[in-house]
Structure 1
Amino acid sequence: MMNEKNNTINEEVEPLSNKNGELTEENAVESVFDETETIEQNEVNPFEEEIQTLKNKLEEADNRYLRLQADFDNFRRRTRLDSEASEKYRAQKLITDLLPALDNFERALKMEVENEHTKALLQGMEMVYRGLLEALKKEGVEAIEAVNKEFDPHLHQAVMQAEDENYASNIVIEEFQKGYLLKDRVIRPSMVKVSQ
């Protein structure tokens, strides 16, 4: 047992001695430095793994935060655009409901007048009609011009085609029902006859 202890001690002391078996200061310093480095490496490795794990978690959290921020910015922009569109086209439902009344006014105003009483009645109707048109114009409503214009499928609805030598091909010859725009949106396309 004593021999085993001596062997262990000799093994530990051996690297500290030179070829003659003498202990040198340089060997002792190198040995202590090597042991310290080994201990530090063993102690630092677990911390490095933990630091790396924390860095990864921080990076994931940053990425989630940036995505959340982008989603929130997109939500705000969509909400603003929806609000602007809602404000811009707020009167569309009312205007759509009024269009048949305007059509009826236009038909009534085309009547032939036979006496003064009917003429006075038509003048009153024309005043109401103009008042409606002015109110609609203030909201941004305007009639789509169709006759003698080139057919545009976004603005016109062709219900008939006809050959007419007086018109070039694809030109609106006649309008059956007026179309209307609300600002830049078509509320109702014009119903038209188009030349072939």
Structure 2
Amino acid sequence: MTNENQNTINEEMAEQTQEANQKVELTEENTAETVFAEEGTTGESTVQDLLKEIEGLKSKLDEADNRYLRLQADFDNFRRRSRLDQEASEKYRAQKLITDLLPALDNFERAMKVEVDNEQAKSLLQGMDMIYRGIVDALKKEGVEPIETVEKEFNPHLHQAVMQESNENYGSNIIIEEFQKGYLLKDRVIRASMVKVNQ
């Protein structure tokens, strides 16, 4: 192919490209004119529609923000409740075992109140007393304390009144006698004391 032919082809292609660009420009101008003409006829309503749409989007955004804040508050509450539950579970972990041991502790106390004159029985009671003290010490380490009763004021949260008596030696509402020992596990009543109260 000669240089002249090549130049001719290049010129033709350049002309065709220029014509195509002109057509594209004309099409864009016509489209823009059409859009501007349409906006000119409905410009105000288009602006109002856009403002309405903006307001709608703002309200949706506010609603989403509020929902997010509520979810965050719910999650914080859930985390706090879970932490408190876990702390309570750890604090009172031995409650079931202690509650099951209390009747055995009562039996030990009753057995040690028996009067004996036999040396063998006395040594047996001494051994039982050692076992009893060991159990009581172990319970103290877990936070178990007996509830004070005799000569203390009756407290319905700590004591269960099973009898009343009129006794001049005691003031009104004062505990005269304890029938069954009550216990606290840290700050929780695991068994109320059964008592006789002065009227």
Instruction: Please give the TM-score of this superposition, normalised by the length of structure 2.
Output: 0.78
Partner of 2:173: 170
Q: Secondary structure at the match of 2:53?
A: helix
User: For each residue in 1:24-56, what CA deviation from the matched residue of structure 2 results, as whole angstroms up to 9, or x when unmatched?
Assistant: xxxxxxxxxxxx998643332221111111111
Q: Give me the whole-angstrom Cα distance separating, in 1, the residues matched to 2:154 and 2:45.
A: 83
Partner of 2:193: 190
Partner of 1:148: 151
Q: Percent identity?
A: 75
Instruction: Summarize the alignment of residues 70-149 of structure 1 with structure 2, pairs less than 5 Å apart.
Output: 70-149=73-152
User: For each residue in 1:104-156, what CA deviation from the matched residue of structure 2 results, as whole angstroms up to 9, or x when unmatched?
Assistant: 00000001121110111001100000000000000000000100101111111
Please state how far the C-alpha of 1:163 moved relative to its aligned partner.
1.2
Q: Over the residues paired in the alignment, what is the CA RMSD in angstroms?
A: 1.4
Q: Give me the whole-angstrom Cα distance separating, in 2, the residues matched to 1:113 and 1:42.
A: 108
Q: Give me the whole-angstrom Cα distance separating, in 2, the residues matched to 1:189 and 1:156.
A: 5
Q: Secondary structure at the match of 1:159?
A: strand
Partner of 1:56: 59
Give unmatched runs, 5+ long, in structure 2: 1-38
Q: Give me the whole-angstrom Cα distance separating, in 2, the residues matched to 1:189 and 1:42.
A: 78
User: For each residue in 1:154-183, what CA deviation from the matched residue of structure 2 results, as whole angstroms up to 9, or x when unmatched?
Assistant: 111110011111111111010000000000
Q: Give me the whole-angstrom Cα distance separating, in 2, the residues matched to 1:185 and 1:91.
A: 12
Q: Give me the whole-angstrom Cα distance separating, in 2, the residues matched to 1:161 and 1:43.
A: 88
Give unmatched runs, 5+ long, in structure 1: 1-35
Q: Secondary structure at the match of 1:191?
A: strand
The one-letter code matched in structure 1 to 2:85 is D
Q: Secondary structure at the match of 1:111?
A: coil
Please state how far the C-alpha of 1:193 moved relative to its aligned partner.
0.6
Q: Secondary structure at the match of 1:166?
A: coil
Q: Give me the whole-angstrom Cα distance separating, in 1, the residues matched to 2:70 and 2:41.
A: 43
Pick from 162, 180, 183: which aligns with 2:183?
A: 180
Q: Secondary structure at the match of 2:115?
A: coil
Query: Higher helix fraction: Structure 1 or Structure 2?
Result: 2
Moved beyond 4 Å, runs of 4+: 36-40
The one-letter code matched in structure 2 to 1:175 is E
The one-letter code matched in structure 2 to 1:107 is R
Q: Give me the whole-angstrom Cα distance separating, in 1, the residues matched to 2:46 and 2:198.
A: 91
